[in-house]
Amino acid sequence: MSMQGMQLLKGSPASPYTRKMTALLRYRHIPYRLLLTEADELQTLPKPKVPLLPTFYFEDENGKLDAAVDSTPLIRRFEKSITGKSVIPNDPVIEFLDFLLEDFADEWLTKAMFHYRWYYSDDIEKAGNVLPRWRNIKPADDDQLLQLKQEFSNRQISRLYVVGSNEVTAPVIEGSYKRYIKALNAHLQNFAFLFGRRPAAADFAAYGQLTQLAKFDPTPAKLTEKMAPRVYAWVDMVDDLSGLTVSEDDWLSGNEVPPTLLEILKEVGRGYVPVMLANAKALLAGQKTVEAEVEGKAWVQDPFPYQGKCLQWIREKFESLSEQDQKRVSAILEETRCRDLLG
């Protein structure tokens, strides 16, 4: 916590990871101050090693500020410093599944988010018009906004390759997104959240990506409203869960993983798993291209070192489980192809 009990952060309404974190802070009753990406106040603040949104600023015991990024460890940092309304499930088996689904949302759903936004003309047009207006509360003039529209669009379109969106992978990304929202829609018929009656880190991760996919970018928003109305409505509720009261028995137990959750994990096993494994293999062999197959379709992209680390963290998390819990996780994942992730 920093600055008179207020957590300071920099972010943007267009950043899925910013939205993941601000919804979590609201749910956990952690007061915060959000600075937009070009707020004047930022000039006085330290820069993080990797410039990512959101950036959090923490005050040390001498009152010096330190900048930190990466939502997944930040969530665990807040779990240690602030108690109550935890987003980490109490059964280690469910905690592992939560970690996996959080990474799936952060690393795979984001491919759909980036792809739809910068691939289709309606979506490019909307993002180009709106995103530059979200950088500062001070109004900018029209000429400046038009120039920013061009700069933003050109830069982001030229970076589609980073997430692996291209002519070959477009149908794979879209197919996976559609199956995912259908599976989540079915799950939400019986459960308020992924792991029962209270939200976990993975719910906020999925919510973050869906604030864009279901609510902002016209092509996937239309799709989501039509194919998955529960998902569409869920996003607005997760946005502000400040009033939700929860108890320990609101979590699912690892002994009763419902079929609808297994269906979501099966979708994880179809795309994310083979691509994460092929990426790790390419990084290890120093190859220039990642090649994989998803549902009989080809996947090609440049290697992505950060996602190599993500796979490592998932494996470490699994290794940290007791032998009995590892067996329980393996039994659940066996049916879903996610077991292959664990080496």
Ligand X SMILES: N[C@@H](CCC(=O)N[C@@H](CS)C(=O)NCC(=O)O)C(=O)O
Give me the residues that bind ligand X (CB under 6 A), please.
Answer: 15-17, 52-53, 69-72, 106
Backbone angles phi, psi at 135, to 5 degrees: -85, -25
Nearest approach in angstroms of CB 48 to ligand X is 10
Number of neighbouring beta carbons within 10 Å of residue 60 = 9
Buried b (16+ CB within 10 A) or exposed e, 158-176: eebeebbbbeebeebbbbb
Minimum CB separation of residue 51 from ligand X in Å reads 6
Contact between 36 and 29 under an 8 Å Cβ cutoff? The reply is no
The least distance separating ligand X from the CB of residue 201, rounded to whole angstroms, comes to 11
Closest CA to 15 of 154, 147, 110: 110
Smallest distance, ligand X to C-beta of residue 104, A:
13
Using only the alpha carbons of the chain, give its radius of gyration.
20
**In DSSP terms, which residues pair with 300 in a beta bridge?**
291
User: How far apart are the C-alpha atoms of 195 and 227, rounded to whole Å?
Assistant: 22
Q: Given the complex with ligand X, which of 10 and 179 has the nearer CB atom? A: 10
Q: With respect to ligand X, which residue has the nearer C-beta, 71 or 169?
A: 71
Q: Which helix (H) or strand (E) holds 115?
A: helix 110-119
H-helix segments, 228-340: 229-239, 259-270, 272-285, 305-319, 323-334
Using the minimum distance from each CB to ligand X, give the nearer residue, 52 or 262. 52
- Would you say 17 or 251 has its CB closer to ligand X? 17
**CB 262, min distance to ligand X, A:** 26
| Between 24 and 252, CB nearer to ligand X | 24
Min dist CB 155 to ligand X, Å, is 8
Beta carbons of 65 and 287 less than 8 angstroms apart = no
- Burial (CB count within 10 angstroms: exposed 0-12, middle 13-18, buried 19+), residue 322: exposed
User: Residue 48 or residue 218: which is nearer to ligand X going by CB?
Assistant: 48
Q: How far apart are CA 193 and CA 197, in angstroms?
A: 6
- Looking at the Cβ atoms of 17 and 96, the one nearer to ligand X is 17
Nearer to ligand X, 134 or 191 (CB): 134
Q: Which helix (H) or strand (E) holds 77?
A: helix 71-81
| Tokens, residue 252 | 């699912």
- Give least dist CB 296 to ligand X, A: 30
CB of 20 to ligand X, least distance (A): 7
Q: What are phi and psi of 183, to 5 degrees?
A: -65, -40
| Per-residue tokens: 132 | 């530059």
